Amino acid sequence: MKRIAIDMDEVIADAMSKYLRLYNEGFQEQLTAADLHGVKLRALRPERSDDIHEIFMTNDFFRDLEVMPHSQEVIRELSESYEIFITTAAMEVPTSFNAKYAWLKEHFPFLSDMNFVFCGDKSIIRADYLIDDNAKHFERFEGQGLLFTSPHNILETGYVRVNNWLEVRDFFAKALNM
């Protein structure tokens, strides 16, 4: 059975909406996802880089994120034909483990928690596919990377891109028929 590794933030969990809301509340701005077209917030506001990083560092930031549309149903379908692993670079925010684990258990109870991988460098993941919003994780990954569209990666080229979970479903439906 082939294996799919799936990133959490901005792929199955909508971290961007909460991130922007908290940033805008904290700094009295009105930034939208469109303002992050091709750039991360820390690059857009480098003078606030440390403060921006602190937004993520709370113990519960990741606990109440919205689920990306259709991710639950598509991942459930894919789990019938593929091994599914959720692979999150949690070491970038070490305080996130408990909140991310609880979020995954709540929203993806059909996946075994033995298939949750909390890591840093995703090149250690042995999978046939990696769905991620950060192209850096494809650099040393040995399988097929699928770049999940997010405002910050919209200018990235050279990768197979999926814009939403319905496109992920279509990609794997074609892969199964090959």
Is position 64 annotated as part of the catalytic site?
no
Largest CA distance in the chain: 52
Is position 51 annotated as part of the catalytic site?
no
Closest to 39 in 3D by CA, of 163, 154, 176: 154
- Cα dist from 47 to 25, 51, 52, whole Å: 17, 9, 10
**HSE value, Cβ hemisphere, 13 Å, CA-based, for 166:** 1
Catalytic residues: 7, 9
